[in-house]
Chain A
Amino acid sequence: MDILQIVGIGFLATVLILVIREQKPMFAYLLASFVGVAIFLAFVGKIDNVITVLEELAARSGIPTVYLKTMLKIIGIAYVAEFGAQIVRDAGLESIASKIEFAGKMLILVMAVPIISVIVETVLNLLPA
């Protein structure tokens, strides 16, 4: 049911934007971004269920909570960066969109640094000095 509504809103917005774009490209862009934000905000709450399942899984199997927390943060960064980049890309500013994506990638890699350092330390200890 929900998906029908979303698709309907998407179609409506698309038609409106196509009509408006001839006269006022600025409003077409604004409408596109607002529709995007609205859909994103309406359904970003649903991810809560998935995260609950993941947490349960982590608690049951006894994997450290750090793993799960880091993974979820990475997901969040990826989503937000992607969303912003697409909105900017809609306006035709490819270069700024790619910079936003670059920032997201950097943040994800920064998250990986402690893991890498622990692994590298272990491997170095493993080797005979």
Chain B
Amino acid sequence: MGLMEGLSHWLRQIIAVILLASLIDMLLPNRTMQRYVRLVAGLFILMTVATPIMHWMKGDFTTKLAEGLDAVERTPQEGAEQLAMIEKEGAKLRDKQNIQAADLVSARLESAIRSEVEQSEKRGVRKVDVVLERGNDGSLAVAKVIVLLEPEQVGGESSRVRSAAKEVDPIADVDIQIKVDSWPSDDHEVSATPKVEGNSVNEKELNPEREARLRISALIASRFGFAASIVEVKTPVAADTANSN
């Protein structure tokens, strides 16, 4: 029974393929393509006739054939699609890596600037911001450096840095007194000295902050090779006003 069923299936297949081939032969536009189409149709008929032998020789040739035909069809398009996908992934990874590199660079620079300022100025640095900018050719450049100093408090948290900074003032006072002592005879001079002293005190009260800022920005600019215009040193007061704006 199984044999008869298989035989009838086979015959039906042959008839169907021959019908298909003749219909397609009819559908053809004209004679130029006819030979080629007939070749393919003949191959199909041959394969259908030889199906039992093929099944006997090796298992599933139909799927293999289907795979082969699909491969012929799809190779170029799929290749292009895959290439585009891979390139997109690559671009994404490259961007990620660039961002990571920029973060790393700015973190390193920030810590280097912080330690430099702390060492040379002997005062605390609250925050260092390094803003990087990507140029047209994809290279990174430092666009801005913002240094936010710790406020200089007289009696607040006592750190060695501050006490060292405080020691500078008494020395300056002593220096002035030496000046006063050097001209003891002249009353006019003596009366003038307090004026000088007052001026210097005023300057000291107004300017140290600004001087320190200028000094720090010059130091950073020279040490790290930035343009001085992109280095900005702020004290917390200035930062507060900036925030309120």
- Which A positions have Cβ atoms within 8 angstroms of B? 47, 50, 54, 57-58, 60-64, 66-71, 73-75, 78-79, 81-83, 85, 101, 104-105, 108-119, 122, 125-126
Query: Which chain B residues border A109 with CB–CB below 8 Å?
Result: 36, 39
User: Is B160 interfacial (CB 8 A cutoff)?
Assistant: no
- Which B positions have Cβ atoms within 8 angstroms of A? 9, 12-13, 15-17, 19-21, 23-24, 27-30, 32-33, 36-37, 39-41, 43-44, 46-48, 50, 53-54, 57-58, 61-62, 64-66, 68-69, 71-73
C-alpha gap A126/B57 in the complex (Å): 8
B17, B24, B43: the one contacting A63 at CB < 8 Å is B17
Known: A47-B27, A67-B20. A119 touches B13 (CB 8 A): no
Decide: B13 and A61 in contact? CB cutoff 8 A: yes
Q: Nearest Cβ distance between residue B46 and chain A, in whole angstroms?
A: 6
Closest 10 CB pairs of A and B: A114-B68, A61-B16, A78-B33, A82-B29, A66-B66, A108-B36, A115-B43, A112-B40, A61-B12, A64-B62
Interface majority SS on A: helix, strand, loop or mixed?
Answer: helix
Decide: B41 and A71 in contact? CB cutoff 8 A: yes
* CB nearest neighbor in B for A66: B66
Decide: A122 and B61 in contact? CB cutoff 8 A: yes
Decide: A105 and B36 in contact? CB cutoff 8 A: yes
Query: Which chain A residues border B48 with CB–CB below 8 Å?
Result: 63, 67
Offer 20 A-B interface pairs, CB within 8 angstroms, sorted by A. A57-B20, A58-B20, A61-B13, A62-B13, A63-B17, A64-B65, A64-B66, A68-B20, A71-B21, A71-B41, A73-B73, A78-B36, A101-B33, A108-B37, A108-B40, A110-B72, A112-B40, A113-B72, A114-B65, A119-B46
Query: Which chain A residues border B19 with CB–CB below 8 Å?
Result: 57
Query: Which chain B residues border A82 with CB–CB below 8 Å?
Result: 29-30, 32-33
C-alpha gap A117/B67 in the complex (Å): 12
C-alpha gap A126/B55 in the complex (Å): 12
Decide: B62 and A108 in contact? CB cutoff 8 A: no
